[in-house]
Structure 1
């Protein structure tokens, strides 16, 4: 992939961009092989991504001035670097950025000056659905500009006909995070429909969804096929997010329970269930480890898809002692995955697959099927 921002040293986020894509994938595969070594472990062919134009979301830091805003990242001095033409974004998503920049000027949304801690608009977060619809979130220091945003929102919607969900997120603190806790929905709809493998998932503003829709679809198909092969009657999907795995493995005569800390994500999953009519699905907000420890009996199969830190010693220890027959572990960090596997020696890796969710970087997803000896 070629990028003039990288060549000019304006943005160096794509740390592997100088490597041929096939080499990137081979190196990631070798890294996972080295960390997850087990006798008889079958490695399936990796799932590849388009090397560019694969991102379904943009996390744009806003800087510059109200009349000439930049949308992108900050340089080391806190100045704005405009990345509206970053090649990681597909053309349809890129096409939303100029209208959003014009909206900043129209609604007089003063960009937040990080070094001087002045201004209002910190970030614009944009997500694109597989159908081309958009969710746009304006991350502001306060609600001072809320009335102006409401007033001019029809102009933005006229420029962006695919705009389905628009919100204001309030982040009053000066700290290096993308969003705050308070979300104000400005549109009739409060969820973005994410159509994956013929199933409609719902994404609320503060819910997580994988950055690469095509590779996420392959991840869920992999999980669906592996679970179908095992044929469990009861399944837990821990760290279930908006229910991607749970929805894909739902089947008649199978009880699937999804657990996720985020109440927003669980509300999204419950909306999917209400609309889909899929059988045997239940979701609840809560801590995955506490749920497992307090359950009357374990299921036949557990799916875990934790953040980078992994599931940790308490949940790994519970799985080791639980008698659960099979575990599907989806990880974005093979180091924490290897650490968790070491704490579950009775659950042996039998099949694995690398999914290149993040080309041009060292990040990836790896799915492993574990079976009790």
Structure 2
């Protein structure tokens, strides 16, 4: 914070290139992609504190008391505008904030996601289902002040531990998904599905992958850790083809969303529920991997080496695990690499590389 954004990006590029110097030739780096340095986040994760009559929405301090953040500059302008109207309406529902020191109360967090078309998904994280009727009755109130409210759900988190949400999700609206339109693809985000929190940079990430797929023009593409289908659907729409498209994702809700988007686009793509780390079949010409921070690990690296697809696109949110995985893919060389400033004002980066079989 306080460092000029161009300098932040230059330092980030330098650090990532240094970390990956044994795997990525210096002349293969493309210019970093940058979006807005503030007002970029499409999701607000708000810890709730205070009292029933005067709740706070923001963070908890070192004593676990609520601190309101009414003018946070993280969020996209439409989401900020929506929160200005939505938070007073939520405060008026009469839900008692959960007090961490005494372990009393109900409302732990409020999670609000905004789409590029100014629609909202509003999730209440409650300790128990006892206050469900209050939330249900408040939907019309919320929509009266923010007409874009599309999905409202309650997540039940009964445990006292540092976990944002629990396993049970109850959708209270007829609509179960929030359409997230990035360029010419509309994804369908369900309450518990992962989606990049920086829409501008996510769209650029998918455009870059589409460009690399078009240049390689494979007959088949497999998207591992495919989530709601971001890379797979863009690969299907890349120039060239036709090509067989498959995706594997462990979260059933995300697979349902990917299938819906493919159907709306008229694409013949196959999405399966499964663990990418224990694949039984890998017979595609190009494989995309977009793993969590831990990376793909030795077993999947070995499977890729054995199957020997002509190209691999690896999108990573952790350059350290990316370097570790690249070291376990000796049969490949990096021919393109790019840093995406997905998380401005931080030391984190999204890095995508294109690998070609030696």
Fold match (TM-score > 0.5): yes
Partner of 2:303: 318
8 Å contact from structure 2 (residues 48, 98) kept in 1: yes
Give the structure 2 partner of residue 24 of structure 1: 8
SS at match of 2:130: coil
Select 2:123's aligned residue among 137, 142, 150: 137
Alignment match of 1:231 (pick from 203, 207, 217):
217
User: Take 2:206 and 2:123, find their aligned partners in 1: how far apart are those partners?
Assistant: 27
State whether residues 261 and 287 of structure 1, in contact with CA within 8 Å, keep that contact through their aligned partners in structure 2: yes
User: What SS is found at the alignment partner of 1:96?
Assistant: helix
What is the CA distance between 1:96 and its match in structure 2? 2.6
Deviation at 1:40, TM superposition (A): 6.5
Corresponding position of 2:33? 47
1:58 aligns with 2:44: yes
Partner of 1:116: 102
Q: Which residue of 2 aligns with 1:284?
A: 272
Task: Give the alignment of 1:64-143 within 5 angstroms.
Answer: 64-143=50-129
Secondary structure in structure 2 of the residue aligned to 1:95: helix
CA contact (8 A) 1:109 1:121 kept: yes
Distance 1:322 1:149 in 2: 51
Distance in structure 1 (CA, Å) of the matches to 2:140 and 2:303: 52
Tell me how far 1:277 sits from its aligned partner: 0.7
Distance across 2 between alignment mates of 1:254 and 1:313 = 28
Q: Give the Cα–Cα distance (whole angstroms) in 1 for the partners of residues 136 and 306 of structure 2.
A: 54
Change (3 A) 1:175 1:347: same
What is the 5 A alignment of 1:178-189?
178-189=164-175
Q: Give the alignment's TM-score, normalised by structure 1.
A: 0.92
Write out per-residue CA displacement over residues 189-211 of structure 1, whole angstroms, 9 at most, x where no aligned residue: 00010111121111011001101
TM-score by length of 2: 0.96
The farther-off stretch of 32-41 and 80-89 is: 32-41
Is 1:249 aligned to 2:238, yes or no?
no
The residue that corresponds to 2:136 in the other structure is 150
Would the aligned equivalents of 1:41 and 1:350 in 2 still touch at CA under 8 Å? no
Deviates more, 1:79-88 or 1:57-66: 79-88
Answer yes or no: is the 8 Å Cα contact 1:332–1:363 preserved in 2.
yes
1:46-75 deviation line (CA, Å, top 9, x unaligned): 101101110011000001111111111111
Of the three residues 309, 325, 330, the one matched with 1:340 is 325
Q: Does 1:330 align with 2:315?
A: yes
CA deviations 1:315-339 (Å, max 9, x no partner) are 0111122211110000011000000
- Structure 2 counterpart of 1:35, from 16, 19, 28: 19
The worse-fitting range, judged by mean Cα deviation, of 85-94 and 237-246 is 85-94
Alignment partners' CA distance in 1, 2:312 and 2:202: 19
1:351–1:369: 8 Å Cα contact kept in structure 2?
yes
1:270 pairs with one of 254, 259, 269? 259
Measured against aligned partners, the alpha-carbon deviations of 1:281-305 in whole angstroms (never above 9, x if no partner) come to 11011100212xx11x521110000
Q: Which moved more, 1:282-291 or 1:99-108?
A: 99-108
SS of 2:45's equivalent in the other structure is: strand
Deviation at 1:276, TM superposition (A): 1.6
User: In structure 2, how many angstroms separate the alpha carbons of the residues matched to 1:112 and 1:101?
Assistant: 16
- CA RMSD of the aligned region, Å? 1.2
Contact 2:86-2:145 at 8 Å conserved across structures: no
Work out the CA distance in 2 between the residues paired with 1:171 and 1:39.
Answer: 47
Match of 1:259 in 2: 248
Q: Distance in 2 between matches of 1:171 and 1:99?
A: 26
Aligned residues: 353
CA contact (8 A) 1:41 1:352 kept: no
Structure 2: any 5+ residue segments left out of the alignment?
A: none
Question: How far 1:41 sits from its partner (Å)?
Answer: 5.0
Does the 8 Å contact 1:69/1:101 carry over to 2?
Answer: no
Out of 328, 334, 352, which is 1:349 matched to? 334
Which residues of structure 1 form unaligned runs of 5+?
A: 1-16
Maintained 8 Å contact 2:89/2:145: no
User: What's the CA shift string for 1:251-274, capped at 9, x where partnerless?
Assistant: 552111111111111111111112
